[in-house]
């Protein structure tokens, strides 16, 4: 009897969550799929991890990259290789690209590069909730740049319907890092294989707390020109220092989202290959 009551209660809870989710879909007009399933073959996601530094010199020489499309992110346009490989997809998820933050100067520099120098068709994916803010903040008018606002609703409800709504573009896994947005775009764009580079995610190796009770780390990226020093970690959304509890919880959610993306890729018959040798991610098949 207790088991039956629990099952009934669970059904009503899931029904309520599902109903509220559908109402949000209607409210946000998220029933139109922003991603066209028009690509095929292989796409390579070039993330920001330090290991990408060793990959970049091989992009034009290694046979594995022949005929491959690219998804890049954040400040990749600052690299010379950006104009040689001419990616088709560009993902921006961080609030610093949609409003004024302590990194405004860098963001505006990126927009200037995209505005003046991109002479090929480039899809720029952003969260739909930031569409108007992005247009006002970036002032992009280059006709080669196509802004694609992704429906950023997190699915709630019956688990059996989750991947249906992902595939229709009405919902998206919780995005904790822009690399996850890139993987989602790769799956939904029609590619059969998504190769992922630069997703080291080894942020725990140098974590510590300083004498001021600030959580510190070496936040390294492939584009770093000199050795990165240990420094307090600040949030990009509000500029405040990370609390240890918040930071660990954040990374827990991040790895869980990778697990969901891995399951979604199998549902979609898409192969995801983690080509980052030092990666902490255990969700995807690793390149042998």
**Could you read off the pLDDT of 90-134 as tens digits, one per residue?**
999 999 999 988 888 999 999 999 999 999 999 999 999 999 999
Indicate whether 6 pLDDT > 90: no
pLDDT digits 0-9 by tens, 148-199: 999 999 999 999 999 999 999 999 999 999 999 999 999 999 999 999 999 9
pLDDT for the residue 250: 87
Q: Confidence band (pLDDT; 50, 70, 90) for 11? A: confident
pLDDT for the residue 225: 63
Integer Cα distance of 261 and 199 in angstroms: 14
Indicate whether 226 pLDDT > 70: no
Residue 282 phi, psi (nearest 5): -110, 15
Query: pTM higher than 0.85 for the full model?
Result: yes
Calculate mean pLDDT across residues 8-28: 88
- Answer CATH for 32-286 from 2.60.40, 3.30.450, 1.10.10, 3.90.1480: 3.90.1480
Beta bridge partners of 232: 216
Answer yes or no: are the C-beta atoms of 122 and 91 closer than 8 Å. Answer: no
Compute the radius of gyration of the chain from its Cα atoms: 20
Q: Confidence band (pLDDT; 50, 70, 90) for 259? A: very high
Pairing of strands 285-286, 208-209: unpaired
91: helix, strand or coil: strand
Tokens of 19: 């109903």
Calculate mean pLDDT across residues 231-258: 88
pLDDT digits 0-9 by tens, 35-83: 989 999 999 999 998 899 999 999 999 999 999 999 999 999 999 999 9
Indicate whether 236 pLDDT > 80: no
Tokens of 62: 């290694």
Q: What does each C-alpha distance from 274 to 9, 62, 161, 278, 287 come to in angstroms?
A: 40, 17, 27, 10, 6
Integer Cα distance of 92 and 104 in angstroms: 14
Integer Cα distance of 93 and 41 in angstroms: 25
Listed in order, strand segments (DSSP E) in 38-171 are 42-46, 69-73, 89-91, 122-127, 145-150
- From the list 41, 40, 119, 43, the residue with the least C-alpha distance to 84 is 119
Indicate whether 220 pLDDT > 70: no
> What is the DSSP annotation of 11-55?
HHHHHHHHHHHHHHHHHTTTTS--S-----SEEEEE-SSGGGGGT
10-19, 98-107, 228-237: which has the minimum mean pLDDT? Answer: 228-237
65-95 burial: b if 16+ Cβ within 10 Å, else e = beebbbbbbbbbbebebbeebebbbbbbbbb
Calculate mean pLDDT across residues 219-238: 72
pLDDT for the residue 127: 96
Indicate whether 31 pLDDT > 90: no
pLDDT for the residue 227: 64
Answer yes or no: are the C-beta atoms of 186 and 87 closer than 8 Å. Answer: no
Indicate whether 238 pLDDT > 90: no
């Amino acid at each position: 009897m207790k088991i039956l009551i629990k099952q009934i209660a669970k059904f009503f809870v899931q029904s309520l969550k599902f109903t509220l989710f559908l109402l949000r879909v209607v409210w946000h007009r998220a029933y139109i799929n922003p991603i066209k399933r028009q690509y095929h073959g292989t796409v390579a996601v070039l993330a920001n991890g330090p290991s990408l530094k060793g990959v970049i010199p091989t992009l034009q020489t290694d046979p594995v990259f022949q005929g491959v499309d690219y998804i890049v992110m954040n400040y990749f346009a600052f690299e010379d290789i950006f104009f040689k490989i001419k990616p088709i997809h560009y993902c921006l998820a961080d609030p610093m690209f949609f409003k004024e933050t302590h990194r405004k100067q860098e963001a505006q520099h990126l927009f200037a590069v995209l505005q003046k120098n991109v002479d090929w068709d480039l899809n720029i994916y952003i969260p739909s909730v930031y569409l108007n803010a992005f247009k006002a903040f970036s002032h992009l008018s280059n006709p080669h740049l196509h802004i694609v606002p992704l429906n950023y609703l997190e699915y709630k409800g019956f688990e059996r319907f989750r991947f249906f709504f992902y595939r229709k573009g009405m919902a998206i896994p919780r995005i904790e890092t822009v690399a996850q947005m890139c993987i989602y775009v790769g799956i939904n764009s029609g590619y059969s294989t998504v190769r992922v580079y630069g997703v080291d995610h080894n942020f725990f190796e140098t974590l510590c707390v300083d004498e001021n009770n600030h959580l510190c780390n070496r936040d390294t990226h492939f584009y770093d020109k000199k050795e990165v020093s240990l420094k307090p970690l600040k949030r990009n959304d509000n500029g405040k220092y990370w609390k240890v509890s918040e930071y660990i919880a954040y990374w827990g959610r991040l790895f869980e989202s990778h697990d969901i993306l891995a399951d979604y890729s199998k549902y979609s018959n898409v192969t995801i290959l983690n080509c980052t040798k030092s990666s902490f991610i255990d969700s995807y098949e690793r390149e042998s």
